[in-house]
Structure 1
Amino acid sequence: MGCDGGTIPKRHELVKGPKKVEKVDRNAELAAKWKYCALSQEKLRRPIIACDLGRLFNKDSVIEYLLDKTAERPNAEAVVHIRGIKDIKELNLTDNPEWKGERSNIKGDMYEDMNCGMFICPVVGLEMNGKHRFCYLQNCGCVFSDRALKEVKTEICHKCGEGFKAEDVVVLNGTKEEVGKLRVRMEEKRAKAKTKKSKKSKAAETVSTPSESKEDAQAPQVDLTAQQNGDESSQPAVAGPSGSSDSSKGTKSSTSSTSSIAKRNFQEMTEKSEVFKSLFTTHSSAKRTKDQTSNWVTHTPYHF
């Protein structure tokens, strides 16, 4: 039962006290954020993307989530705010020349630096391992350290030369307060996009409705002018003092003339030449004689 051979137990061996809270290893926590995908928990590999809240993902895992959102995933709460490809940005990262990969120390006879990161800041040279604050630009996707943006203050990207604003800077793997600010900014941005879309749709409707009304109003006028230009000689000129009886007679004569023009045959027009009349099928030259017509039907009737 113990205490044999003159052993003397101590108090902590006999009395069980409260359990100590297990602390998470700082290096393991940083590696989980900066070296693994926030959705699939796989190692980060190119192409690497980031959301509006500054979380790092593998592009393949996010696309699989967008294609099938009904599938059960352990870390689905990390991508609930992602609605489509427009809500993510592919990062333009700078490789670390000192990074040799994880297979370099297979034998275990070399010193392995756990704080060595795969990527670095192209301006200052700090490693992206979680000990330094990093940001990315939403317009171009370039990644820099916060120290580089503070020391070299400019509105042009240090890597690609594209302009950016203070609103385009997003902190990667920030604190809870920083994530809350980024979430508020994301919601405001989406609200502005909705208002712009509604304004554009209303403007398109207002532009389309008056144009349609104008076309409807101009359509009968064009038809009347076309009929009047077809035969000017057939429309009698109305002359005389203006009055109710004359106007009524003029309208009746105009309507009768337009209807007669529509019903009148071109072959009966004496003022037209024979060349003009031969253009129509009602001309005598376009008609066939009995010798030219056939009384039977063949499989391939190539006849006239």
Structure 2
Amino acid sequence: MGCDGGTIPKRHELVKGPKKVEKVDKDAELVAQWNYCTLSQEILRRPIVACELGRLYNKDAVIEFLLDKSSEKALGKAASHIKSIKNVTELRLSDNPAWEGDKGNTKGDKHDDLQRARFICPVVGLEMNGRHRFCFLRCCGCVFSERALKEIKAEVCHTCGAAFQEDDVVVLNGTKEDVETLKGRMEERRLRAKLEKKAKKPKAAESVSKPGVSEEFPGPSKTKTGKPEEASLDSREKKAGSAPRSAAANGSSSGKVGKPLGGPPKRSIADSEESEAYKSLFTTHSSAKRSKEESAHWVTHTSYCF
């Protein structure tokens, strides 16, 4: 049966050759990377975050993934390296004033320009559509083109002024070589954080196991809150008051009255050069030294009624 009626079959109809490799449309691939979330495959909307490998996500999709880590999700492998919300950075994106979105194509009779992007570089003005390499800083989350880094070399961010290092620069949707480099940096960073965390634990255990150290060196709650000058003055007064007491105690024990430690020797008023009227006011004057018969009664205090 077949081949009747004057039909002539051709070679490609009779011989089956190898299938042609289907090529991915580059424009469609760029649109999927730069306009859709890697985890949920939904359109990117603020707040937008990026992981340490340079992939773009919706923040709510990342939070849902961290709360529900079920094995049924097929797209969970794209975010398997995200262990907590600290592993992603919220991006500060600059809007493109020439982007209209879907407002101009409500009827479906207008051509959508896939080269037009929602965000641009705030320094150079390039559109973030995948045709140009873009990067962000882990320290602040600012996004700008790689050309801005090369043309304007600085150690601070071009938009917010935050200081950054070379390890803080992460390429967005980079090549396989870029992803491998970023993966190595991510592993080194996490290993360093684990070692620092382990080093802190023995120190905390030693401080708990040795309570005597804290008693010898009291903290701010046990120390005196007074001023250092007041404390020094009080200590000097105590030392000055204790010195004459100790001298008096030594003199009484030996039965001899010792001389004062400091100060000039006392002089009697009788030996002074003052007038006699002034000297008579004191009991050491000769007029005050009377016999019992000449002295007045104690009721009439110094009445001098003889």
1:180 maps to 180
TM-score, normalised via structure 1 length: 0.66
- Give the alignment of 1:188-203 within 5 angstroms: 188-203=188-203
Aligned to 2:154: 154
Alignment match, 1:83:
83
Aligned to 2:58: 58
> Which position in structure 1 is the counterpart of 2:36?
36
Over the aligned positions, Cα root-mean-square deviation in angstroms equals 2.2
Partner of 2:45, secondary structure, is: coil
SS class of match (1:141): coil
CA contact (8 A) 1:123 1:148 kept: yes
User: 1:112-261 counterparts in 2 under 5 A?
Assistant: 112-212=112-212, 215=215
- Aligned counterparts of 1:125 and 1:151: Cα–Cα separation in 2: 13
Contact 1:3 1:9 in 2 (8 A): no
1:79-111 C-alpha deviation (Å, 9 max, x unpaired): 111110110100001111111113421223333
Over 3 Å counting, the alpha-carbon distance change for 1:9 and 1:102 in structure 2 is: farther
Q: CA 1:7–1:124 in 2, change beyond 3 Å: closer, same or farther?
A: farther
Highest CA radius of gyration, 1 or 2? 2
Q: 2:42 & 2:107 partners in 1: Cα distance?
A: 24
Question: TM-score, structure 2 length as denominator?
Answer: 0.66
C-alpha distance in 2, partners of 1:126/1:24?
A: 25
Q: Which amino acid aligns with 1:29?
A: E
When residues 16 and 42 of structure 1 are mapped into structure 2, their CA distance, relative to the original with a 3 A threshold, is same
Percent of aligned pairs with the same amino acid = 60
* Counterpart residue type for residue 134 of structure 2: F
Give the 3 Å change call, closer, same or farther, for CA 198–23 of structure 1 in structure 2: same
Structure 2, unpaired ranges of 5+: 219-306
Aligned residue pairs: how many? 217
Determine the C-alpha separation between the residues in 2 that align with 1:213 and 1:11: 94
User: Using the alignment, how far apart are the partners of 2:167 and 2:50 within structure 1?
Assistant: 16
User: For the residues of structure 2 that align with 1:115 and 1:158, how far apart are their CA atoms?
Assistant: 25
Quote how far apart the aligned CAs of 1:72 are: 2.1
The separation in 1 between residues aligned to 2:156 and 2:165, in whole angstroms, is 9
Secondary structure of the corresponding residue to residue 66 of structure 1? helix
Partners of 1:58 and 1:72 lie apart in 2 by 20
Output the CA distance in 1 between the equivalents of 2:37 and 2:61.
8
Partner of 1:282: none
Measured at CA, do residues 38 and 3 of structure 1 come closer, stay the same or move farther in structure 2, by a change above 3 Å?
Answer: farther
Task: Give CA deviations for 1:117-167 in whole Å, capped at 9, x if unaligned.
Answer: 111111111111111111000000001111111110001111111111111
Unpaired runs of at least 5, structure 1:
219-304
Cα 1:112/1:206, change in 2 over 3 Å: same
